[in-house]
Structure 1
C-alpha cells in the first residue's frame, strides 16, 4: 500500500509501503539513454526511485528536468491492462512513467499525450509480470490521477492532491463528503442548546478522523493533514515529510501472514522547483538528497545510487 501527496505547488512524493524491498535505488536517466520500445532515443532527463533490471529503470516515482512528477501506486483487483491495439499508442504499464516524464513538461501536456494511450499487459520479462497500479501526475499547478480499468483508461482531476490505493479514485472523492465536519479549529457545541458542552482537550475538532492504515483511511487522513498544514517560507520540505509521516506504517501494525509485515520502506519528496529528489528510509532518520542538475543530463548511461539505509541518530 502507498500514499502520494502534492503540496504547496512545489513538492511531490510518496510513501512506499510493502513487506519487502525489490532492490530499489535512486536512478537518474539522462537525455540520451535509449528507450527503443517507446521510440524515444532522446527525452527529458528523469530522477527518481527505480528498480533497475537488465540496465532498464523500472521507476516507482520520480520527476523530470521540467518539473513534472509521477508515482505509481498499488491498484490490485482494479487495474486492467489491454492487449496491443492497432491505431493506438501501445505502452506497457512498466514503461508508463518514463514515457510520460520523458516527453511532457506539464500535466496539460500529459493529458494530451494520454488521449491515444493504450496501456498494455505486455510483461517486462516472463518472470516480471505487470504490476497492478494507478498513477498520480503533478506539476506546480495541478495534479491528475490515471487509472486503467475494465472500462478503459480513466483520467481524473485531483483537487485533493492525494492518492492512495483501492477503491478507484472516484470513490475516494465521494467518501470525503462523510468527513466535511472535521476541523482543525476548536469544535462548537451543536449537540444541544440545553447542555453546556465544552471541549476538554485540544484537537477535538478532528474527532472522527480515521486512524487505521487502510487505503481509504490513509486517503482521508493525508488529505486532512495536507489541507491544514502550515509551513513557513523555506520550511515546506520538512512539513512535507511530516504529512507523509501522518500515514507512515510502523513495523508490526499490518500483518500479512507467514511472518510478513507491511512497513513504509521509504518516503520521497521531489522539489519540482530545484530538481532535488529527497528520500528517507525506514531504518534511517536522516534525509538524503540527490540533485538532478548536478548530474550530466546529456549522457547515455544510467546513474544509479544505492539507498542510504544505515541507522542515523
Structure 2
C-alpha cells in the first residue's frame, strides 16, 4: 500500500507515502557517481549519475524504494500484488531484476524518454537479491517533471502508461484508475450550486462541493483523493511552500495506526512520507513517529566519491519548546 505523487511549482517535486505493517531498515542513502553498481546479468555501472532516496543497504548494496538522480529523474516502486508478473518482457531483452531497475535506470538515464526506451526492451527477471530477500511484486512510477509514466509487469508483458494525473497507488492496474476518475468529474473545491431547479436549497457548510470524494484507504480511493487535492492545489512557488503543500497532500492519504488492518491482523501505517526537489536533489522526509520534516542535501560534494552516504532516519518525535 503506497501513494506516489508528482507536483510542480517553480521546481518539480516527487515523493510518496510508504505504507507498510513493518520497518525494513530504511535510511536516506546517497549513491555517488563512482560507486560501482553491479547487476546479476548486466555489465556493471562503474560511473553513473548520483542518486538520492530511501533504501535498505544489504551487503553494501542500496535497495531503493524510491529515488531521484542528479538530473531530476524519479523512480518509485509500489506494491502491486496479484498483478505483478516476473519474468516479464521479451526473452532477448536486457535482463534486469526488479530491485535493479532503480539503480540501472536512474544511473544511466536523464529523462523519461531515455528510460522509456530502455524499458521497452527490458526483460524483468524473477531473480532475487538473495535467497532470503525475495522480489517484491511491484509496479513503478517514473517522472522527470515533464512526463510521467507507469510501468506494470503483467502476464501479457510490461505495460507502459502515460500518467497525465501524476499519481500512482496500488491495485487494480493503472488503466482502471484513469477510467475511475471519470466518476468524480462533478467534484469541486468551490461551493456547489443548486441544480434541483425548484427548492431554495443552499450549502450549509464549507467544502460541500467535494461531497462524494472517497475517504477510505483503498488504492482506488487514495488515487482519487490525491488527484483531486493535487489538481486543486493552491500553492506559492517558493521551496518552503511547495514542500509544505506536498506533505499536506500526502497527509490526506496517509494511514494512521488503527485505520487499516491486514489479513494477518497487523496494522498498516504510513511508515514514512518523502518529497524531493528534482532540481536541487534535496530529500525531505518525515516518519510515522516524527512529524517534523528533515532535509538531506545531495550537494556536489555528496555526488562525488565511491562510497555510499547513509543517513539514519530521525524517528523520535521532535518538539519545539518555547522558552
How high is the TM-score relative to the length of structure 2?
0.94
Contact 1:84 1:90 in 2 (8 A): no
The answer to whether the 8 A contact 1:72-1:133 is kept is yes
Is 1:203 paired with 2:207? yes
Cα distance, 1:89 vs. partner? 0.3
Question: Matches of residues 82-121 of structure 1 in structure 2 within 5 Å?
Answer: 82=87, 86-121=91-126
What corresponds to 1:22 in structure 2? 24
Which of these residues, 242, 253, 258, is aligned with residue 252 of structure 1?
A: 258
- Alpha-carbon distance in 2 for matches of 1:107, 1:85: 21
Is the CA contact (8 Å cut-off) linking 2:90 and 2:122 kept in structure 1? no
Indicate the SS of the match to 1:79. coil
**Structure 1 pair 84–202 and aligned structure 2 pair: CA distance change class (3 A):** closer
Structure 2 counterpart of 1:243, from 239, 245, 249 = 249
SS in 1 for 2:116: helix
Task: Give the superposition deviation at 1:296.
Answer: 3.2
Corresponding position of 2:7:
7
Checking the alignment, whether the CA contact within 8 Å between 2:167 and 2:226 is kept in structure 1 is yes
**Residue 197 of structure 1, CA deviation:** 1.1
Give, in whole Å, the separation in 1 of the partners of 2:191 and 2:6.
27
Which runs of structure 1 show a deviation greater than 4 angstroms over 4 or more consecutive aligned residues? 83-86
The corresponding residue for 1:123 is 128
Aligned to 1:174: 179
Tell me, yes or no, if the aligned pair for 1:83 and 1:122 is still in contact at 8 Å.
Answer: no
Shift of 1:102: 0.4
Give the SS at the match of 2:292: coil
- The Cα shift of 1:257 comes to 5.0
8 A contact 2:20–2:269 mirrored in 1: yes
Question: What is the alpha-carbon distance in structure 2 between the residues aligned to residue 206 and residue 294 of structure 1?
Answer: 45
Is the 2:92–2:123 Cα contact (8 Å) retained in structure 1? no
CA displacement at 1:294 relative to structure 2: 4.8
User: Which of residues 215, 218, 225 is equivalent to 1:214?
Assistant: 218
**Structure 1: any 5+ residue segments left out of the alignment?**
none
1:271 aligns with 2:277: yes
> Which aligned pairs between 1:132-211 and structure 2 lie closer than 5 A?
132-190=137-195, 192-211=196-215
- Alpha-carbon distance, 1:260 to partner: 1.4
In 1, are the aligned partners of 2:51 and 2:69 still within 8 Å (CA)?
A: yes
Unmatched 5+ stretches in structure 2: none
Matches within 5 A, 1:49-64: 49-64=54-69
Q: How many aligned residue pairs are there?
A: 312
Counterpart-to-counterpart distance in 2, 1:178 and 1:204: 17
Q: What value does the CA root-mean-square deviation take over the aligned residues?
A: 1.3
Residue 73 of structure 1 and its aligned partner are, at CA, apart by 0.4
1:293 Cα offset (Å):
1.3
CA distance 1:218–1:103, change in 2 (3 Å): same
3-state secondary structure, aligned to 2:108: coil
Alignment check: 8 A CA contact 1:29 1:301 kept: yes
Residue 295 of structure 1: how far off its partner (Å) = 3.6
2: distance between equivalents of 1:76 and 1:291? 33
Aligned equivalents of 1:86, 1:111: Cα separation in 2: 18
